[in-house]
Structure 1
Amino acid sequence: MGSGDLNLLKSWNPKLMKNRKKVWETEQDLVNEQQKLNTRLKEIEKERELNELLHASNKDQPDALKTDLTLKKSGLEWMYQDAKLNDEKEDYLLGKKKLDSSILKQPAAATEKATERAAAAAAAPKNSHRKGSTLHRDDPMSNNTGEPTMQ
């Protein structure tokens, strides 16, 4: 009479293809995660060995550890790339240093942009006055003076 397998109708049946697919996908995710973890551990180990070698070679020179060579080897050179230029600008702004010819030559493009912005800002107040008056007129809270009124 009823020779059909009723377990095939259950959503939790492990023989169903959709359940097998879910299991396979989770297994593949775990394998990929483990591979990423292994590669990251190898990178960390290489960095650690490199740092140990650098420290061993520069024991008598502690200032030499911060050279560009060590930063490039550790992969951190991008963080300190423009720090020298920023330090010079900061020293000038703080009054510690006079203007240098190298600083005067570099921001030529920046001064052009600044003049364009200044020209745009000079034209803006004419329109902004009109905008301010319309905003003031349209604002319902601008009618409130803060004084209580008798009703």
Structure 2
Amino acid sequence: MADGDDATDVDVDESSFLTGVTSIEGVSWSGASGVDVGRLARAIVGTAVFTVAAGVNTVVSGLTAAVTGLIDGVSEFLAGATEWFRIPGVGWRPTREAGLIEVIFGTGIAAIRGAWSFNVDTFGPLSLPVGLAVVLGTFLVVARGIEQIQEVI
């Protein structure tokens, strides 16, 4: 490298690690007469501590991102999520994906609504007892299912 071409812009005064400089016969430069071991050791330990701190920071950042991603994933699985997609020439549009809770309760509610509307059209004045029987039967099935799940867990 030519003079002034330094790979880094950091100026390091190497003489700060030396205890003294003596002239050497027959050469045009001076030589070190000793090394300040304490100052050199502090530089090495400081570099090692910085490296360990940077590693710990990276690990903590990675763990935080992993836990946050896990919580977001569970939340989206249970409650659903809205994703945005781009339609060329139109722009960004949302699409809603149902979560587990919405699918379970949505299906149950749709079944009960369907049973009530079917009963009113089919059974006339007897639709109330038939509808109540359907709703109570649905709750019985759900209760048995919850009991089975609790036994497994």
TM-score w.r.t. the length of structure 1 is: 0.36
Greater relative CO (CA pairs within 8 A, separation 6+): 2
Larger radius of gyration: 2
Flag the structure with higher helix content.
1
